């Protein structure tokens, strides 16, 4: 299994500001994923973060809006930039093990006023 | 493109009744299918995967390649089964996982 922690667990932010979410894993992993789960909806993959290279973004998500860092094999950050109320969501990081099972962090609940 | 469809947003059953949560998928190769569950105030976690062919908490799911389905079943629902259930698909090999829209299972006492 994998133990994943996220900071902050929740935040309330003003429109136009930015928030950086941290994800820490208890062991080294090759790939980390960032998802968004909007109220009443499923998980949508934002990007895949590989250590030592640029993140790979899914359709509809861009680096300027969601910059990602992956400085080492146990840590990643996702920044939600220039926030608007539409960015209110739960943001989740996850990792994949050799078994292809995904392990999820507890999520960061973001509310943008 | 890979796609997962869960046609029911909400499924309400009485305690002791059988449960079937539907999942259909679209994928050009050989997929790996999963069911994830999210109990109230808990994080998303794996329930079962088709390659394991195991029963977890009384739930089973069979991959039907002809019908491209991976329905989740349990013969007798329990109150503690109430949760959000997500069907998911991956092409394997650390590829991204695509999730369905989820079905909320509500077991009525």
| Residues of chain B with C-beta less than 8 angstroms from the C-beta of A104 | 43-45
User: Residue B93: what pLDDT?
Assistant: 61
Cβ pair B90:A106 closer than 8 A: no
A33 and B CB contact within 8 Å: yes
Could you report the per-residue pLDDT of A5-37, keeping only the tens digit for each? 999 999 999 999 999 999 999 998 888 999 999
Q: What is the CA radius of gyration of chain A?
A: 13
- DSSP single-letter state for residue B32: E
**Long-range contact pairs involving A42-50 (C-beta distance under 8 Å, separation at least 24):** A42/B86, A42/B99, A42/B100, A42/B101, A42/B102, A43/A92, A43/B44, A43/B86, A43/B99, A45/B96, A45/B97, A45/B98, A46/A78, A46/A91, A47/A78, A48/B96, A49/A76
Cβ pair A42:B45 closer than 8 A: no
> Which residues touch A110 (CB under 8 Å, ≥6 apart)?
A10, A11, A13, A19, A21, A80, A83, A87, A88, A89, A90, A91
User: Residue A76: what pLDDT?
Assistant: 95
Could you report the per-residue pLDDT of A48-74, keeping only the tens digit for each? 998 877 899 999 999 999 999 999 999
User: Residue B55: what pLDDT?
Assistant: 84
Name the range with the highest mean pLDDT among B10-14, B45-49, B60-64.
B10-14
Token pair of B42 as six digits: 């808990």
For residues B96 and A10, the model is more confident at A10
User: Residue A57: what pLDDT?
Assistant: 94
Mean pLDDT of chain B: 91
For residues A51 and A111, the model is more confident at A111
- DSSP single-letter state for residue B58: T
User: Residue A38: what pLDDT?
Assistant: 85
Residue B34 has pLDDT above 70, yes or no: yes
For residues B1 and B4, the model is more confident at B4
Cβ pair A101:B34 closer than 8 A: yes
Cβ pair B46:A106 closer than 8 A: no
Contact, B93 vs B104, CB < 8 A? Answer: no
Cβ-Cβ pairs closer than 8 A, A with B, add up to 41
- Confidence band of B92 (pLDDT split at 50, 70, 90): low
A2 and B CB contact within 8 Å: no
B14 and A CB contact within 8 Å: no
For residues B93 and A43, the model is more confident at A43
Residue B102 has pLDDT above 90, yes or no: yes
- DSSP single-letter state for residue A86: G
Residue B35 has pLDDT above 70, yes or no: yes
User: Residue B31: what pLDDT?
Assistant: 87
Residue A85 buriedness (CB in 10 A; 0-12 / 13-18 / 19+):
exposed
Residue A42 has pLDDT above 70, yes or no: yes
């Amino acid at each position: 299994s994998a133990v994943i922690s996220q900071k902050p667990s929740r935040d309330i932010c003003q429109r136009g500001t930015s928030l950086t979410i941290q994800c820490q894993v208890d062991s080294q992993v090759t790939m980390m994923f960032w998802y968004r789960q909007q109220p009443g909806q499923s998980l949508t993959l934002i990007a895949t973060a590989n250590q030592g290279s640029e993140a790979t973004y899914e359709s509809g998500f861009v680096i300027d809006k969601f910059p990602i860092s992956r400085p080492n094999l146990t840590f990643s950050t996702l920044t939600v930039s220039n926030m608007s109320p539409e960015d209110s969501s739960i943001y989740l990081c996850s990792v994949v093990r050799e078994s292809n099972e995904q392990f999820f962090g507890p999520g960061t609940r973001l509310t943008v006023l | 493109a890979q796609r997962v469809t869960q046609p029911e947003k909400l499924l309400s059953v009485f305690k002791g009744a059988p449960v079937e949560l539907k999942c259909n998928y679209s994928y050009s190769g050989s997929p790996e299918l999963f069911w994830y569950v999210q109990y109230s105030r808990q994080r998303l976690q794996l329930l079962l995967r088709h390659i394991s062919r195991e029963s977890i908490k009384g739930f089973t799911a069979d991959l039907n390649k002809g019908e491209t389905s991976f329905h989740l079943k349990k013969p007798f629902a329990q109150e503690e089964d109430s949760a959000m259930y997500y069907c998911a698909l991956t092409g394997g090999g650390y590829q991204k996982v695509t999730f369905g829209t989820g079905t909320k299972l509500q077991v009525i006492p």
